[in-house]
Every structure is written in structure tokens, then in C-alpha cells.
A and B are shown apart, each in its own frame.
Chain A
Amino acid sequence: MTSDRTANDAQSGRVWKKPPFIANPWVRYGLVVITLVYLYWAFSTLPFDWQRISEGLPRAGKIFGGAFPPSFERAGLLWTGFKESFQIAFLATMLGVLLSVPIAVMAARNVAPLPVYLLGRTLIIVSRSFHPVIVAILFVAAVGFGPMAGILTLTLYSIGFVAKLLAEEIEEIDWGQVEAMRSVGAGYMKILVYGVFPQIMPRQIGLSMYQLDSNLRASAVVGIVGAGGIGGTLMNAFGRYDYDFAFAILLMIIAIILVSEGLSGWVRKKVW
């Protein structure tokens, strides 16, 4: 390199810009434009009741003022509400997990013939499509207010989750073990018991624990539409402007969820 490095080089003006995240400038600016247009459109078409909203902050003040300190006076109601939620969650988990096993077997392509597989898959998709609250409303309309609707709702909810994951687990088992059981002359059921179930057992237990935890949370919510449990108590408290009681209920819900999360994590570790 013998060229003369003089002040001229400082003026050579080599520029660098970071290559943009999205290479194509049309796409890049297009996205920005679309986002802005969308925001404008959404905000302008959405119905905001500004009058009511402006009353919001003072209201919030009143509500939080009324909510604090939380009132545990009606502990009896609290207790019955939670007890019912527990019962709903527990029974729904038992029923749901029990039903999930045959449904998962039906919905696993490698152990089920095609028509059975399609039926199993459909059952699972139907159970998952709707938010549990919607399912709860429908069951309430069908079987009336109370925990029965809650149990039915959460059973479907459990099946939608547990059966789906269990079926995926079954589809990934080591097929050699099933082959070995076929080769000793075992029939379908025995092959399931010896060749399939031992392989999916840890996952099954983990899923069941997780689902129990999930159902506990969900049971608090389905009560809001009348399917039993602490949700109903909460709705009543809100409806009567008993914000201190409502706050107490909320605190209990959070506490129980935390405890149940911790417990289920511990059990899952032990059983693995």
C-alpha cells in the first residue's frame, strides 16, 4: 500500500447505513402505512362513550377506596364458593382425564383406523373451539344454573387439552415396543396396556396435574355465567357494589392459584 494517505482520505465520504430489517422498501413502508391506517380506522369506528369514560377515573378512585381494606366478614360465603369451585375442578379433571385416554387413543393415527381417527379428532376439535365461558353458557341453558353446568364445561375443556396432547404423544411412541407385543401374539388391548401406555404414562400424569391447575382457574370464571363456584359469589359482590368483599375474593383467588401452581409443579417433579 504505497498510496499517499493524506487528508484527502478523510474526505472520501464512505457512508454506511444499517441494512433495514425488512429488505423490500415497498413492504417496509407498506407495513408502516397499513399500521397507521388500521389504527385510524379502528379508533374511529370503535364506539367510545367518552362521557362515561371521563367519569372513569373518579369512579376508579371510589372503587379502590371502597375495596381497601378487603373484607373477610362473609367468610362463610367465601368458603362455600371456593369449596364448590374445588369440587367442580376436581370432578371435571377426573372425568375429563378418564375420558381423554380412550379419545386420545382414537385420535392417534398410528393406533386407530382412519374412520375412528377422524371421529376422535373431531371430538377434540369440538371440545377446543369454544371459550369455556361460552360452553358454560350453553350448558347453563341446557341443564340449568349450578355446578353441573360447570363440571360439564370443564370436562370438555379438559378433554380438548389433555386428549389432544396425549394423542400427539401416542403418535410419537417408539413403535418397536408395539411391534414386539404384536410378535408375541397379544391382542389390541394387551398391546395398548403393555406397548403404548407405559410410554405415555409420565406425560399423562404431567398433563393431568397441569389440567387440574387449569381447571381450578377456569372454575372461578365459569361461575360468572352461573355455572357454580366462586365466580358466582364474585358476580354478586360486584353487582351489589360490595367492592371490599370482591377484593377479598380476588385476593383469595390469586393466593389459591399461586399455591396450586406451586403444588402441581412439585408433584410433577416427583412423579417424573
Chain B
Amino acid sequence: MLEITNLVKRYGQNEPVLKGLNLKVEGSSVVSIVGASGAGKSTLLRCINRLVEPTSGSIKLNGHELVNLRGSELRHSRRRIGMVFQGFNLIDRLTVMENVLSGRLGYVSFFQALTRRFPQSDIDRAFSLMERVGIAHYADKRADQLSGGERQRVAVVRALMQEPQILLADEPTASLDPKTSQQIMSQLQSLANEMSLPVLINIHNVTQARMYTDRIVGMRHGQMIFDGEPKEFNQDALDAIYGGIESPEEDGGDPGQQASPAPEATA
């Protein structure tokens, strides 16, 4: 369970990017965070695994306070938090298998990491996860030889290899074409269900958020202004979050389903 209380992030003397956020994520739900660029979605996610240092506030994962951890305790907490990035952030020159195994770096010794002698259990887990998402045949290919969707799947496997207690995804589909991004969202959803994993996804695409997640949190200017189920996320909510900024993506719905045309957000 993730519990964020009064989280504030301010850079220097500027206006805070996060203004006293409160969020509770329980059990194995898939939560999407929507908002315009600059709303603070990415900062929020990065505060959880401390890639960004919170200015004040509290973040508790399963009862453990994360905000003031340092050194090896910080690394131990990070290895329990999986993260998937918009730019995939794979080690291009290494093979898919090495990338996947790098998810275990928080658990193995330096020597094992250097010589790539990971425990057999890690290798077994790697193969089964790769088969699960359909990339096992690429195990010895260099990561930069894969397509965008395939790379993101590698990144997802890498995150899952950590045996995380929570999965964070920072705009995982923003660099992918509509069809591939649906595949990824759908995989995230089913993996979360199978592994009983809470998942936080930053996403631009409101339709996909509605379709693949259980709960939508809307942010604007560093504050949370919507928190509810997808069916409650109506035009008013959309306007509150995006109104006066740019309209979010409205495409990317399931091709088999002819949903009613999504309402145009007023510019």
C-alpha cells in the first residue's frame, strides 16, 4: 500500500511543482494519473523512488517511510519499486537478457553483476517473464535492434524482475504508435492483475486511461483535482484538468469497439 501525505516539491524559490499532494493506493489496483504537461505527474512518480528529492511531506510504502532514507536503505527501497520510462531507458549496447537481468542489480553482489553470473532462479524468472510478454526469442539480441513496443516490453520485464511491491510507469506509451501503446497498456493491466501489484501510470491518453485502469487521478498545477472511477471521469472533469491548456489525445480506443465519439475538449 502506497500512502502519500502532503507531498511538496519546490525547485529553488519558484512556485512549487507539487503542492501538498495526498494519495492512497491500496492493494492491486491500476491507477492512472492524468494531466497536462507540467501538471507535476512525472515529478510525483519520481518522488516516490527518490529520483527527485521531495521538499517536504511523507511517502510510505507498506508502512515504511521513504522520504528520509539514505545510502543502502534507499537502494533497498528502490529495488522494491519498479519503474517503466517513456524513453524505455534500456542499455542499448547490451542484450535483451542483460537488460532484463539488470533489474536484479539491487539484489546481487557487484562481482556477480560485473561477470553476469546471476543466480539460476533469476535466469528462470527472466525466461518465464519474457515468454509471458512474448520476447523470449530476442534474449540475445542487442536492445537497440528491437522496435519501440518490443523495447518497452523489455523494460516492463526488467521492472518486474525486481519483484516490486509497486510498479510506476511514466508515460509508458507516449513514444509508441496507437496500436502498440494499447498492447502495452493491456499487458500492464493483465500483469498487474496476475501479480496483485499496485500500478501507477502517468498517461496523456484519456481514452486508454478509462479503458485500462481502475481509478483515475487528475492533476493540474501540482494539485490533485480529481480522484475517482473511469465512469465518473466526464467532460467536466476533463475541462477541469485540461481546460484552457491543450486537449489531450482522444484516440487509441480498442479498434474492435465502436465507442461513441469522445467529446472534444474545449480549447
Contact = CB atoms under 8 A, between A and B. Distances in A.
Contacts of A182: 51, 78
A177 interface: yes
Interface in B52-89: 72, 75-83, 85, 87-89
Contacts of B92: 174, 177, 198-199
Given A185-B75, A194-B94, A198-B91, A179 B158 contact: no
Interface stretch (B106-114, B117-125, B233-241): B106-114
Contacts of B72: 187
Interface in A162-195: 174, 176-177, 179-187, 189-190, 193-195
A180 B105 contact: no
B105 A176 contact: no
B238 to A, nearest CB: 31
B90 interface: yes
Contacts of A176: 85, 87-89
Given A179-B51, A180-B85, A193-B114, A185 B78 contact: yes
A138 interface: no
A198 B158 contact: no
A114 interface: no
Interface residues of A, number: 20
Contacts of A194: 91, 94, 102, 105, 113
A48 to B, nearest CB: 59
Given A185-B79, A186-B105, A187-B75, 6 more contacts: A181-B105, A182-B51, A183-B81, A184-B82, A184-B105, A194-B94
Given A176-B87, A193-B113, A193-B114, A183 B93 contact: no
Contacts of A174: 92
A180 to B, nearest CB: 4
Interface in A201-254: 201
A185 B105 contact: yes
B179 to A, nearest CB: 24
A185 B76 contact: yes
Q: Of A184, A186, A189, which is in contact with the most chain B CB atoms at under 10 Å from its CB?
A: A184
A123 B126 CA distance: 43
Contacts of B49: 183
B198 interface: no
Interface residues of B, number: 34
Contacts of B87: 176
A184 B103 contact: yes
A266 to B, nearest CB: 22
A182 B105 CA distance: 10
B84 to A, nearest CB: 9
A179 B89 contact: yes
Contacts of B162: 184-185
Contacts of A198: 91-94
A180 B81 CA distance: 12
A186 B104 CA distance: 8
Interface in B132-162: 155, 158-159, 162
Contacts of B105: 181, 184-186, 190, 194
Contact of A189 (B83, B90, B110): B110
Contact of B110 (A181, A183, A184, A190): A190
Contacts of B114: 193
Contact of B102 (A179, A184, A199, A201): A184
Nearest to A199: B93
A193 B88 CA distance: 19
B110 A179 contact: no
27 contacts: A176-B89, A177-B89, A177-B91, A180-B89, A180-B90, A180-B91, A180-B158, A182-B51, A183-B51, A183-B78, A184-B82, A184-B103, A184-B104, A184-B158, A184-B162, A185-B105, A185-B162, A187-B75, A187-B110, A190-B105, A190-B110, A190-B113, A194-B91, A194-B94, A194-B113, A199-B91, A199-B92
A184 B79 contact: yes
